[in-house]
Copies of this chain bind each other. A is one copy, B any other.
């Protein structure tokens, strides 16, 4: 269990002694694809580390549609921030694919943070990173055109490198579209236009970026 916990940046560099009480209190969780983990408003009694699969964090709008806030992938943690406050979950969560996770009780992490400065610093760093990512997201969301959003999204996956690069989309296109605040139809049209312009190519569920430079140009309008 300790070895599994160390997958998360949160727990890397902690001593075995530090990790032991957390490992003892945690348990493995398995979920079928599509299964609900919790809904908005549920008491936040635990947080999660994803070992395998991916999770959709979303909110329901008042007219019943869902807005994807974040997609959590293998190796990432989620809901750490709520585990520290005595507040209910601010989002719903459900499994995109078959899921393997570790559930860590909020009480244990709260107690450990109080004793263990190292862990507290790790958590601060992790939350700070999340704040940064949200700042990026808010910026991206308020960028005007659909093309810019998509270009920005793809660019976030690329290395600095200039050559052809391959992107594995997390789950379905419709979900990525939702993540970007777009309709599936619009997303499809944007991809089509990019293909016409020779910026990308598609090959068995992967997007191949032929010209990162052009992509950057599209984002910058």
Contact = CB atoms under 8 A, between A and B. Distances in A.
Interface of A: 59, 61-63, 67, 69, 81-82, 84-85, 87, 90-91, 113-115, 117, 120-121, 123-125, 127-132, 134-139, 141-143, 181, 219-221
A125 B132 CA distance: 16
A143 B69 CA distance: 12
29 contacts: A59-B135, A61-B143, A62-B219, A63-B220, A67-B138, A67-B139, A81-B127, A81-B132, A84-B121, A84-B124, A84-B125, A85-B125, A85-B128, A90-B132, A90-B135, A91-B135, A113-B120, A114-B117, A114-B121, A115-B117, A120-B121, A123-B124, A124-B127, A127-B128, A131-B134, A137-B138, A138-B138, A141-B142, A141-B181
Contacts of A124: 84, 113, 120, 123-124, 127
A115 B121 CA distance: 11
Given A120-B120, A127-B131, 4 more contacts: A59-B135, A81-B128, A134-B137, A141-B141
Contacts of A131: 81, 127, 130-131, 134
Nearest to A181: B142
Which of A131, A220, A221 is most buried by chain B, counting CB atoms within 10 A of its CB? A131
Contacts of A129: 85
Instruction: List the 8 closest A-B pairs by CB distance, nearest first.
Output: A62-B220, A134-B134, A120-B120, A81-B128, A127-B127, A142-B181, A81-B131, A141-B141
A136 B82 contact: no
A185 to B, nearest CB: 15
Nearest to A119: B120
Nearest to A139: B59
